[in-house]
C-alpha cells in the first residue's frame, strides 16, 4: 500500500510537469501482481485526482487558449471513449505492441519541435501573417492529433502528455508552459472519460484499493508538480520530457 501511494505521488507530480506518470504507477501495480488490464483500469481511475490537481495548478496558463481548446476538448472526449472501448474489446497485446513506437515518435517530435516552430514562424513572417496565426490546416491537424492521442490515452494512458506536447509543439507557435497547461486539461478529460467507462462497464475488474491509494498520492503529487513545474525553463522542461520518456520506454519494454 505504501509503494502504491508513493508511486501515485510520483505519477501526479510527473503528470503535472510532463506527463507519463502512468509509467511509474502501471509498472508498480504489475510488479506487485496485478493483472495488466486491472492495473490499467485502476491506474486510470486513480490518476483522475492528480490530473485535476495539475490542471488547477496551471489554470493561469490556460487563459487565451480557449479558441483552440473548444475544439480539442471534444476531440479528447471522443478519442478517450474510443480508446476505452478498444481496451474493453480487443486483446491487450494488440495495442501495447504499438506503444513503444508511438512513444519514440513523440519524443522525436519533442526534440525537433522548436525547429518546426521556427520554420512556421519564418514562413508566417515571409507571407505577412502574424507569427501567432494558426492556419485552418494546422488547426485541423491539431484536432486530429488530439483525437488520436485521446484514443491512445483512453486505452493505455501512459505518455499521452508527452504525445500531446509533441503534437502541439510541432503545430502551434506557443510557449512550453502554456502547452503544458493545455496538456493537463486535455489529459484530465481523457482520464475522466476512461475512468467513467471502466467503472460503468468493468466495475468488478478495478482494484478500488489501488485506485484509492493512487488517487490520494497523485492529488498531492499533482499540486507539487504544478507548483514547481512552472519554474522550469522551456529547454529544461523539454529535457525532462525526453528523459522521462526514455525511462518510460525502457519500462514498457521490460515490464
Burial 114-130 (b: 16+ CB within 10 A, else e): eeebeebeeebeeeeee
How much is the pLDDT for 129?
52
Q: Which three cell numbers stand for residue 233?
A: 525553463
In the chain, domain spans: 1-254
Q: Backbone phi, then psi, for 64, in 5-degree steps?
A: 85, 5
Calculate helix-pair angle for 22-31, 2-17, nearest 10 degrees: 160
Judge contact between 241 and 165, C-beta under 8 A. yes
Judge contact between 53 and 16, C-beta under 8 A. yes
How much is the pLDDT for 63?
86
* CB neighbours of residue 83 within 10 Å: 26
pTM comes to 0.79
Q: Which three cell numbers stand for residue 242?
A: 525526453
Q: Which three cell numbers stand for residue 225?
A: 508538480
Closest CA to 179 of 96, 83, 65: 65
Distance CA 134, CA 53 (A): 30
Give pLDDT tens digits along the chain (255 positions): 999 999 899 888 887 877 677 878 888 888 888 887 888 889 989 989 888 988 888 888 888 888 889 999 999 999 999 998 988 888 767 766 777 787 787 777 767 766 766 665 566 556 555 545 677 888 999 999 999 999 988 887 767 887 888 888 778 777 777 888 898 899 999 989 989 998 998 898 899 999 999 999 999 988 888 777 667 676 776 676 677 767 767 776 776
How much is the pLDDT for 143?
94
Amino acid at each position: 500500500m505504501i509503494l502504491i501511494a508513493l508511486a501515485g505521488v510520483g505519477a501526479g507530480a510527473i503528470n503535472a510537469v510532463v506527463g507519463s506518470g502512468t509509467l511509474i504507477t502501471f509498472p508498480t501495480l504489475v510488479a506487485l501482481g496485478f493483472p495488466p488490464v486491472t492495473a490499467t483500469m485502476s491506474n486510470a481511475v486513480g490518476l483522475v485526482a492528480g490530473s485535476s490537481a495539475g490542471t488547477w495548478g496551471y489554470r493561469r496558463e490556460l487563459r487565451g487558449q480557449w479558441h483552440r481548446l473548444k475544439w480539442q476538448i471534444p476531440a479528447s472526449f471522443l478519442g478517450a471513449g474510443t480508446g476505452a472501448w478498444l481496451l474493453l474489446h480487443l486483446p491487450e497485446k494488440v495495442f501495447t505492441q504499438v506503444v513503444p513506437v508511438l512513444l519514440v515518435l513523440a519524443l522525436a517530435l519533442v526534440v525537433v519541435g522548436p525547429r518546426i516552430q521556427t520554420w512556421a514562424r519564418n514562413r508566417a513572417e515571409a507571407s505577412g501573417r502574424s507569427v501567432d496565426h494558426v492556419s485552418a490546416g494546422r488547426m485541423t491537424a491539431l484536432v486530429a492529433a488530439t483525437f488520436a492521442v485521446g484514443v491512445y490515452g483512453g486505452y493505455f494512458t501512459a505518455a499521452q502528455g508527452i504525445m500531446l506536447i509533441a503534437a502541439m509543439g510541432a503545430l502551434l507557435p506557443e510557449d512550453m508552459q502554456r502547452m503544458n497547461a493545455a496538456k493537463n486539461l486535455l489529459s484530465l478529460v481523457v482520464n475522466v472519460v476512461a475512468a467513467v467507462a471502466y467503472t460503468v462497464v468493468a466495475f468488478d475488474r478495478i482494484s478500488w484499493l489501488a485506485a484509492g491509494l493512487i488517487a490520494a498520492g497523485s492529488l498531492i503529487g499533482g499540486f507539487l508538480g504544478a507548483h514547481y513545474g512552472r519554474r522550469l525553463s522551456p529547454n529544461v522542461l523539454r529535457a525532462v520530457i525526453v528523459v522521462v520518456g526514455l525511462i518510460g520506454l525502457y519500462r514498457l519494454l521490460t515490464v
